[in-house]
Structure 1
C-alpha cells in the first residue's frame, strides 16, 4: 500500500502553512491526486512528500522555485545522473558566488558603520567635554561677579 498524506499532515511535519503547500502545487512542484466530492481533497504521495522536503531545502539554500523545479525534474528523469549532478553543481556554484558577493558587501557595510559609529562617539565625547567645561566655568564666573 502506498503511503498517503493530507495537506494538514505535511504542513505539520514540515512546519509550513497549507497555503504554502498549495502555492508549491500551483508552481508545479507538487502534484497531489484529488479525492472526495468534486475532487476538493488533496492526497499527497510519498513522491510529493519528498518533493516538498527537497523544495524546502532548496529554498533554505536560496534557490529560486524555477531552479528547484528544474532540479526536481532532472532528479526524476530516467536518464543518466551525470547531467543531473552537473545541473545541481552549476546551481550550487552560482548561489555560492552570489552569497560570497553579498558577504563582501555586508563586510564593507559593517566597516563603514563601525567608522561612522567611532566618529559619532568621538564627537559625542568632545561635545560632552565641552559641556562639562562650560558647566565648570559657569559657577566660577558667577562667583567672580558677586
Structure 2
C-alpha cells in the first residue's frame, strides 16, 4: 500500500511562489494545519488545496477573514443553501468592487491621455 504524497514547507513555498514565513503565517492564523513530526511540518494534499484557495482569494482582493469563512465552507458538508448563497454573495460583492476598480483605472488612463495631449500641444506651441 502506498501512502499519500506529502510535501515539506520548502516544497510548498516554492510551488506556490511564497516565502516560508508566509506559509507559517497562514498556519499561525489556522488557515492551514500541517502535520507536525517533531519540528518538521508535513503538508498533505488538503493543505496544498487550502493554500491554493488562500492565495487565489488574496489575488482577488478578499481579506483573510473572508477567505477563512469561504474555505471553511468548503470543509463543511456540501449543498447547504445558506452556505452557497453566502459564497455567491461574496463573489457578487468582489466582482462589483473589481468592476468599479477597472472603470476607475480606465477613467484615470483616459484622463492621463488627455493631459498628455494638452501638454504636447502646449510644448508644440512653445517650439
Q: TM tier, shorter chain? A: 0.7 to 0.9
Displacement after TM superposition at 1:4 (Å): 2.2
Q: 1:87 to 1:22 in 2, by over 3 A?
A: same
Aligned residues: 125
Aligned partner (choices 4, 7, 15) of residue 6 of structure 2: 4
Displacement after TM superposition at 1:79 (Å): 5.7
2: CA distance between counterparts of 1:82 and 1:57?
23
What residue number does 1:96 align with? Answer: 95
2: CA distance between counterparts of 1:53 and 1:85?
20
**Highest Rg: 1 or 2?**
1
What residue number does 2:55 align with? Answer: 56
What residue number does 1:17 align with? Answer: 19
Residues 29 and 51 in structure 1, CA contact (< 8 A), matched pair in contact too: yes
Displacement after TM superposition at 1:124 (Å): 0.4
RMSD: 1.6
What residue number does 2:29 align with? Answer: 27
User: Bigger shift: 88-97 or 10-19?
Assistant: 10-19
Residues 75 and 84 in structure 1, CA contact (< 8 A), matched pair in contact too: no
- Runs of 4+ in structure 1 deviating by more than 4 angstroms, as ranges, are none
Question: What are structure 2's unaligned runs of at least 5 residues?
Answer: none
1: CA distance between counterparts of 2:110 and 2:14?
42
What residue number does 1:138 align with? Answer: none
* TM-score of the two chains, using structure 1 as the length reference: 0.77
The structure that is helix-richer by fraction is: 1
